Structure 1
Amino acid sequence: MARVLVAGFGNVLRGDDGFGVEVVQRLHGVALPEGTTLLEVGTGGIALAQELLTRYDRVVVVDATERGGRPGALYVLHVDSVEELRSIDMHMAVPSRALGLAQTLGVLPREVYLVGCEPGKVDDLEMTLSAAVEAAVAPAIEQIQRLLTLDPIPRVPHDTATR
């Protein structure tokens, strides 16, 4: 059985920035494959690195992600390197820092995905998502369910890796 961690980032006091946390909260009411763990990281990224110490096969980071699209646009990315995330993070407690720490500790799963949503408003004190970002929550959950059931990336033993 594969162990998969779904980690929701965001500040629920900053409107659309709370997207990742909102998605993870709603996933609690959805049937998920055995071996799936949900984690509301919020803005405390160290919680993700600590949880990864228990070893996972795959991690799915859910976060508000500024990539220049229209508010509510959904992005699903396979993350090949932690450095890739540095250019799209929005938080002081950024996912890339937590994943970078996990990589340093040797506990970063081989499979890392980002499910991101283009935010609209994040600057005002607001505890609800905008209509556009709210509309992206259900499709995000569908994408996460798909990621939870993907066949794993074949593992190559370290001693047989090609050069």
Structure 2
Amino acid sequence: MIPDSLKYEILVFGCGNLIFADDGFGYEVISKLEKMELPENVGIIDAGTGAPYYLMSLMDEECNTKKIIIVDIIDFQLPPGTLKILSTEDLTKIDKYTFDAHDMPLSDYLIKAKESGIDVTVIGCQAKRVTMPDIEVGLTDEVKASLDDAVKLVLEKINE
């Protein structure tokens, strides 16, 4: 049985950990979206570091999801705060997506979701600083300045 949070046609996941500086980007985008009126078929999830759990559940045949939008930091050596829409092929080039704490690559789940017919979009923001394992709450100015544009990109993808 799939969780209630996954019973939407469109799901927006914010990934990352807000106690490691720019890794909190996904959380901050989700926080902004939660204050907006979105269509009834859109679910918003602060996935934190638990995205594999949610993505595994999407493979259930009871799942109604047709589109997923992931919001997360990336490292493509771009200027900090730069937003980039990634394809599933790009995901295998991101260390964060090729492994996780349970040796379950996030990229594998996203590729399988796409292969099963789910539209997959990843909106990445180039981080300036990720402090893990040291705790630092709050985004750098460059990443914080990209939040509104990231929200606009999510809204565009919802309406495509």
For this structure pair, what is the TM-score category when the shorter chain's length is used for normalisation? 0.7 to 0.9
State the distance in 2 between where 1:14 and 1:70 align.
Answer: 19
Percent identical among aligned pairs is 28
Aligned length: 145
CA contact (8 A) 1:72 1:119 kept: yes
Q: State the shift of 1:89 in Å.
A: 4.3
* Local SS of the residue matching 2:100: coil
**Within 5 Å, which residues of 2 pair with 1:1-163?**
3-52=9-58, 53=60, 54-77=63-86, 79=87, 81=88, 83-90=89-96, 93=100, 97-98=105-106, 100-101=108-109, 108-123=116-131, 124-150=134-160
Kept after mapping to 2: 8 A contact 1:8/1:21: yes
**Equivalent residue, structure 1, for 2:3:** none
Q: Is contact 2:81-2:126 (8 Å) kept?
A: yes
> Deviation digits for residues 41-62 of structure 1, max 9, x if unmatched?
1112223224423231111010
For residue 70 of structure 2, give the secondary structure of its aligned residue in structure 1: strand
On the 8 A contact 1:45/1:97 being kept in 2, the answer is no
Unaligned residue ranges in structure 1 (runs of 5+): 151-163
Structure 2: runs of 5+ lacking an equivalent = 1-7
| Higher Rg of the two aligned structures | 1
Q: Structure 1: which 4+ aligned runs deviate by more than 6 Å?
A: none
RMSD (Å), alpha carbons: 2.6
C-alpha separation in 1, matches of 2:49 and 2:147: 19
Whether the 8 Å contact between 1:72 and 1:120 is mirrored in structure 2 is yes
Confirm or deny: 8 A CA contact 1:55 1:107 kept in the other structure: no
The offset of 1:19, in angstroms, is 0.6
